[in-house]
């Protein structure tokens, strides 16, 4: 890869939507990319649409845990390596599948994930801020919203 010149032309994106993301494995992967000559990498997470092809509601806690792990990967990687994070919201698994979680039911998840990234973590203050902005009285992250 180093000799091909590819690292000067592209920046790799590391995709992982799991709630139990392997932080150490991702840090090692970033180190491998750096040794190959890539100066920057991107992360890709999801705020919806990554937990099942026929999912109709968004389990915020799953996506929040994923983002908290990505923050941990960023903290354990060289400071200058992260170019950005693509916060995805998949609408369907393939063109032959039904739509999964529509955007309106996923807005609370999007807000929580964005605020966690913006604040470098999730706290009661972050939760209260999301509730205030969305006009909600009780934001549930570990169960489906009612």
Tens-digit pLDDT profile for residues 85-119: 999 998 888 888 888 888 999 999 999 999 999 99
Q: How far from 64 is each of 35, 61, 80, 82, 146, CA to CA, in Å?
A: 31, 5, 24, 19, 18
pLDDT at 145: 63
Tokens 């592209």, residue located: 10
Percent of the chain residues past pLDDT 90, beyond the cut:
75
Residue 144 has pLDDT above 80, yes or no: no
| Structural tokens at position 125 | 């203050």
Q: Which position has the higher pLDDT, 9 or 54?
A: 9
43 contacts 73 by C-beta, under 8 angstroms: yes
Per-residue pLDDT of 11-36, as tens digits, reads 999 999 999 999 999 999 999 999 99
Task: Find, among 91, 16, 21, the residue nearest to 49 by Cα.
Answer: 91
In this predicted structure, which of 20-24, 57-61, 63-67 has the lowest mean pLDDT? 57-61
**Would you place residue 146 in the very low, low, confident or very high pLDDT band (cuts 50, 70, 90)?**
low
The arithmetic mean of pLDDT across residues 57-77, rounded, is 96
pLDDT at 55: 84
pLDDT at 142: 85
CA 108 to chain centre: 14
- DSSP secondary structure string for all residues of 63-113: HHHHHHHHHHHHHTS-TT-EEEEEEEE-S-SSTTSPP-S-HHHHHHHHHHH
């Amino acid at each position: 890869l180093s000799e091909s010149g590819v690292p000067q032309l592209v920046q790799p994106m590391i995709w992982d939507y799991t709630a139990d993301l392997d932080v150490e494995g991702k840090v090692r992967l970033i180190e491998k990319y750096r040794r190959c000559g890539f100066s920057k990498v991107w992360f890709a997470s999801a705020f919806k649409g990554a937990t099942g092809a026929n999912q109709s509601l968004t389990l915020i806690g799953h996506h929040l845990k994923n983002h908290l792990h990505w923050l941990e990967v960023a903290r354990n990687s060289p400071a200058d390596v992260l170019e950005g994070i693509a916060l995805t919201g998949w609408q369907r698994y393939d063109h032959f599948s039904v739509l999964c979680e529509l955007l309106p039911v996923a807005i609370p998840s999007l807000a929580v994930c964005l605020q966690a990234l913006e604040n470098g973590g999730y706290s009661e203050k972050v939760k209260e801020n999301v509730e205030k902005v969305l006009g909600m009285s009780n934001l549930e992250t570990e169960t489906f919203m009612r």
